[in-house]
Amino acid sequence: MASPNGKSGGFEFIFLGLMIFVFWMFMIRPQAKKAKEQKNFINNLQKGDKIVTIAGIHGIVNKVNEDGTTLQMETSPGSYVKIERSAISLEWTAALNKPVVADKK
């Protein structure tokens, strides 16, 4: 069907499709990829791993609880905290465990 000015609406549909594709490419896809990485990271935690929570608390995984959603973290020798796995920050933990590079002078 022709529009009031006599032109067809094909260009508008192509433009709308292109906008949806760009939105998916730059917004939805990276967010889904990041969520998948976070889930894999949380599911692969083991005893002895150094972690940082989203609140900024540093510690070491002492025990992975059987319920699957919590773990026991040692914040200092002999001091333990039970936390949710979802409270662990992937970015801060990765930064903590990043190898230190010596300055070259």
Decide if domain 46-99 falls under CATH 3.30.450.20.
Answer: no
73: CB partners within 8 A, 6+ apart:
51, 53, 57, 59, 60, 61, 62, 80, 81, 82, 83
Q: Evaluate whether 45 touches 64 at the Cβ level (below 8 Å).
A: yes
The Cα 81–Cα 21 span in angstroms is 45
pLDDT tens digits along 30-80: 889 998 998 898 888 889 999 999 999 999 999 988 887 899 999 999 999
pLDDT tens digits along 6-44: 556 788 888 899 999 998 888 888 889 998 998 898 888
- Domain locations in the chain? 9-44, 46-99
The Cα 22–Cα 8 span in angstroms is 24
User: 68 by DSSP, 3-state: which?
Assistant: coil
Pairing type for strands 58-64 and 70-76 reads: antiparallel
